[in-house]
Amino acid sequence: MKKITEFEKLVYAATKKIPRGRVSTYQEIARAIGKPKSARAVGNALGKNPFAPKVPCHRVVKSTGEVGGFLNGTFEKMKLLKKEGVLNLGGRVVSLDHKLYVFR
């Protein structure tokens, strides 16, 4: 197994906090770990997530609400989100309470 960087550890720890039925964004995770300009790097780290589904990277979407990438394809990502109660509205995702998960 490839060594996990400190940055990736931070990303995975933050992502693990997103509850079932909620979504967050790459940008929000970047802010939560103190690296607000690292949204793309967050996406790259999640793209090689070795801890799925324990680290639920499928719950992370683009700031626009679009699904974003997923190792098994966006269709599979949408299936997982739908199973958790996240809605697909015209190609965008919305959590059950229509709110983005914000880290505290």
Q: What is the CA radius of gyration of the chain?
A: 13
Q: How far apart are CA 35 and CA 98, in angstroms?
A: 26
Which of 11, 46, 57, 93 is catalytic? The answer is 57
For the chain, percent helix, then strand, then coil, each to nearest 5? Answer: 40, 10, 50
Q: Which two tokens stand for residue 103?
A: 């880290």
Active site residue 28: no
Q: How far apart are CA 104 and CA 87, in angstroms?
A: 24
CA 101 to chain centre: 10
Q: Active-site positions?
A: 57
